[in-house]
Amino acid sequence: MSESPFGWWSVIPPVLTIVLAISTRRVVPSLLLGIVAGTLILNFAPRNVAEPQPAATAVADTKPAETAATETPATEAPAEAATKGTLASWIVDLFEGHLWHNLADGDHLRVLFFTVILGMQISLIHACGGMEAIVKWLSPLARGRRSGQVLTYVLGLIIFIDDYANTLLLGSTMRPVTDRLKISREKLSFIVDSTAAPVSGLALVSTWVATEISAIASGFENVGHQLGGEAFTIFVETIPSRFYVIFMLIFVFLIAFLNRDFGSMLTAERKALVEPPGKPHGDIDHVEVKQGSVWHAFLPIGITLLVVFTLLIQTGLAGSDIEQLNALTGWKYWATLFGNGNSYIALLYGSLAGLVTIILMSQFGRLLNASEIQKGLVSGFLHVLPALVILWLAWTLSRLAGKDFLGTGTYLANLISDKVSLGWMPTITFVLACGIAFSTGTSWGTMSLVIPLTIQTLWAMLGDMDPAAKVHDPIMVASIGSVLAGAIFGDHCSPISDTTVLSARASDCDLIAHARTQMPYALAVGAISILCGTLPLGFGAPAWLLLILGTIAMIAVVFLVGKKVEEQPQT
């Protein structure tokens, strides 16, 4: 196993970023300082001369953005060598060689445009009243406490395209229904919060998918392996190993359907039976929406899905060996087909088709005028802007930590390969992602930061294995899935998380009350995710069996620890 050209210096940028993000709870400044530290090390720190010189500066970089990141010159040009180690070379390296390079990359631009367009689409769907119409359409099905909770849960699954849209819409529209059924605001905010990020994180088309796929692709690019459309395949392969996400969705249904609770949630629910929630406090931002129909949500989202899967199939066929593809059957055929497709193109044009659809519907139905459409587009852009900045800076830091520059993953692999078994990596990455997300309150920032480092470390730990086999190695896939799940676990437990705050706000629930009542449930599911998920999976247990065992464990917990809300506590 080769060594990092900068040794222990290579871990300073990501560690500095993580420590600052945890201590300040500000992800963007922390990422910026990590990038500054990385470029300073590249330009001024001593390096291991036995290793090839990394492409630390882009003074003479005239290659296309898509290929320049993967090529490392064996020697430096005389002019470049003459300016290295100066303030001028560092400034050029910081802004042109890294920040601008990652912003100008073709695939990165497609991800950013897709996220913006989908955010605009969601904003206009909400302004037309499409999502609210779905909720009103189904709300008469809520006739009792059990059906009210299950309906809220089902609606949370339906509004899969964005976690913010889920929390803000579901909480505010279902609150009168749950109040009437004497369901506590704490329970409402728990259901809203627990069906927001988990559903959007698993959905094949959502505001999350581009971030997740991009982080995966970035990690493999930084070890010199170009995934292309295969990043979508890896994303799908991680789904069975995202134990916390899957278990939480099952757990919410069990709690709702069995009408059993425990801990502080049981106290809140029993209090709501005696003292039903009062009127809203009036500090929630109610957005005035038009009286649209369910088609103002179903049609644009349906068009988006149709175009995405059509383009995935078309680009997959164009990029496949037809004879080899036709030799496959069942899920292997479709996995290979979608894997060879261009997911960036499919997501970009799918979201654009959906945006055009909702604009045309709002015009023909005379729901929104030009000014209202403009406001909706701006609102949608501002909604996703923080995520765009985090994505850009996380890409930059990830590339800096890659093998062509600092070699952070190689150094970490050398450090822990003799001390940590590969089987422990899914659990380690799950706990690490949880801790960072809990402390920073951001699952997106956690995924974008930890996934590339995880891939780089495991790539080195897997040694001389064939690169194609490394990509699909069970430990590699499971560890990536564990990061995606752990980021959401930490986000659920964190009182400073954006979705935690929004869920409480939209449900008109006290933030601390929401965090206090949700914490025992999240910790219970997190413990089951480790004991019945990441630990045995790392040592060879099949994921399908672990999903069954984890479900059985959750049923046991709900029955053994949980109590019927209507039962009077013994005195």
Is the pLDDT assigned to residue 464 strictly greater than 50? yes
* 255 contacts: CB under 8 Å, gap ≥ 6: 149, 261, 521, 558, 562
Give CA–CA dist 261/393, Å, rounded. Answer: 42
Integer CA distances (angstroms), 54 to 39, 411, 453, in order = 12, 15, 18
Q: Using alpha carbons, select from 558, 514, 529 the residue that is nearest to residue 434.
A: 529
Is the pLDDT assigned to residue 169 strictly greater than 80? no
The answer to whether 12 and 18 have CB atoms below 8 angstroms apart is no
Is the pLDDT assigned to residue 2 strictly greater than 80? no
Q: Which of 330-339, 383-392, 499-508, 548-557 has the lowest mean pLDDT?
A: 330-339
Express each pLDDT in 558-567 by its tens digit: 999 999 987 6
- What integer is the mean pLDDT of 392-414? 74
Three-class secondary structure of residue 566 per DSSP: coil
Give CA–CA dist 467/473, Å, rounded. Answer: 10
Express each pLDDT in 100-148 by its tens digit: 887 887 777 887 888 788 788 878 888 888 877 877 787 778 788 898 8
Categorize the per-residue pLDDT at 528 as very low, low, confident or very high, splitting at 50, 70 and 90: very high
Express each pLDDT in 37-50 by its tens digit: 988 988 887 776 54
Which residues are bridge partners to 260 per DSSP? 564
Express each pLDDT in 329-382 by its tens digit: 776 677 667 667 777 788 788 889 999 999 999 888 788 888 889 998 998 888
Express each pLDDT in 4-49 by its tens digit: 678 788 888 888 887 887 677 677 888 899 899 988 988 887 776 5
Three-class secondary structure of residue 260 per DSSP: strand
Q: Using alpha carbons, select from 203, 211, 112 the residue that is nearest to residue 166.
A: 203
Categorize the per-residue pLDDT at 285 as very low, low, confident or very high, splitting at 50, 70 and 90: very low
Give CA–CA dist 367/126, Å, rounded. Answer: 12
Angle between helices 443-461 and 370-401 (to 10 degrees): 30
- What integer is the mean pLDDT of 139-166? 81
Is the pLDDT assigned to residue 392 strictly greater than 80? yes
| Per-residue model confidence (pLDDT) at position 64 | 36
* 140 contacts: CB under 8 Å, gap ≥ 6: none
Q: Using alpha carbons, select from 73, 272, 79, 100 the residue that is nearest to residue 179.
A: 272
Give CA–CA dist 129/146, Å, rounded. Answer: 27
Give CA–CA dist 139/462, Å, rounded. Answer: 52
Categorize the per-residue pLDDT at 474 as very low, low, confident or very high, splitting at 50, 70 and 90: very high
How confident is the prediction for the chain on average, in pLDDT? 80
